[in-house]
Amino acid sequence: MTTISRRETLTTLAAGGLLVASGAAHAQGTGVPQPMRPGRGGTDPGPRNLGIDRANPNIINPPATDSGTIPNLRFSFSDAPNKLYSAGWTRQITVRELGISKNIAGVNMRLNAGGTREMHWHKQAEWSYMLYGTARITAVDAQGRNFVDDVGVGDLWYFPSGVPHSIQATGSDGCEFLLVFDDGEFDEDSTFLLTDWFKHIPPDVLAKNFGVPAGNFGQTPDPRERYIFNLPVPGALASNKIAGATPIPQSFSHRMLAQTPIRSSGGAVRITDSSVFPASATIAAALVEIEPGGMRELHWHPNTDEWQYYIEGQGRMGVFAGVGTSRTFDFSAGDVGYVPFAMGHYVENTGTTTLRFLEMFKSSYYADISLDQWLALTPPELVKGHLGLDDNFVRALRKEKSPVVRS
């Protein structure tokens, strides 16, 4: 057997998912990305992980405009360790997984039918987007006012820091949602759990606090059994209303998909911040939909970093970090992206279906600056003098933002 033919033999390593393949036998045009373009690079004979390479063609073979060193701005929930419970699962991406993400952390959680995320609170504010199914959420604020609501796909909730709350799946197949916290150091294992506190209070203290005999206590379940656990699917929303309770006047839930979108040639954007969802004091968000051939326009955010979650489709993001540096990343469903404060960027649909993702910011308000609008509202001679472009370019500039564009 010749050296070439040996390389053409594929060896699958089940444990690592690595494929050893011949660069000659699997050249450009066969669906296997190669780190090469005319006059640059060369084939990769392997060993290599073809699954990862196929999902990240702009990393293995970056655009010629990429330059310099920018930290990693992408991490997938598929690479995050999953914790399995009796009634669902949970996984997280924090600063430990995505080192650049100092301001925001995210948790992806699944609750089976009736599955309940234990009554708890935490130091960070919690923002959520419902991805699948339906759930019932509850909370009580410092003034003793309560909140109960049902949420479905595309709905949001926001619980301020320190406010105790719960989540329970109400649909026949449960629910799945994204949780976002306004601190990259957040850890879902560091929340304050109801059962955990009960386990660490002497029975006589509990008796004095609640005015019942101490014999009522001492059988609190292990908190590890209650983090996500089964309860009967709750009845109608009205059945969970507390008689005589004063409701929280500022709703902790919001119907994001009910908002009228900003539509443009390449897609649509819905922006939700404290101006339309007053309770959401520390997280602003935009739901972006980009049709095939479309692109989130060249822009940057003047107030804070951007944390992204990709819901469906395929895309690539190019980020300009200044001082001659830029880098391109590929994204698909379940991935998290990050853009540090004020860095210019775009997100382009590279697939054949709608690309849908969330932009999230640790801020009470949403803000972006459009490159197109900036140039359109600057004296034309100044623009032409900088870029060496003619009047045709200047006339094409848009004075109004077009968040999603298509050529």
Distance from C-alpha of 105 to C-alpha of 192, rounded to nearest angstrom:
17
Query: Is 120 annotated as a binding-site member?
Result: yes
Active site residue 359: yes
SS3 391: helix
Query: Is 165 annotated as a binding-site member?
Result: yes
Query: Is 26 annotated as a binding-site member?
Result: no
- For residues 160 and 188, is the Cβ–Cβ distance under 8 A? no
- For residues 146 and 242, is the Cβ–Cβ distance under 8 A? yes
Query: Is 185 annotated as a binding-site member?
Result: no
Rg (CA), the chain: 25
Query: Is 386 annotated as a binding-site member?
Result: no
Among candidates 231, 241, 88, 85, which has minimal Cα distance to 150? 241
SS3 379: coil
**Candidates 97, 188, 348, 359; catalytic one:** 359
Query: Is 122 annotated as a binding-site member?
Result: yes
CA 380 to chain centre: 39
- For residues 356 and 313, is the Cβ–Cβ distance under 8 A? yes
CA 255 to chain centre: 18
> For 141-264, where are the E strands, in sequence order?
146-151, 155-159, 165-169, 175-181, 192-193, 228-230, 253-255, 262-264
Query: Is 301 annotated as a binding-site member?
Result: yes
- Which residues are annotated as catalytic? 359
Binding site listing for Mn(2+): 120, 122, 126, 165, 299, 301, 306, 345
Binding site listing: 120, 122, 126, 165, 299, 301, 306, 345
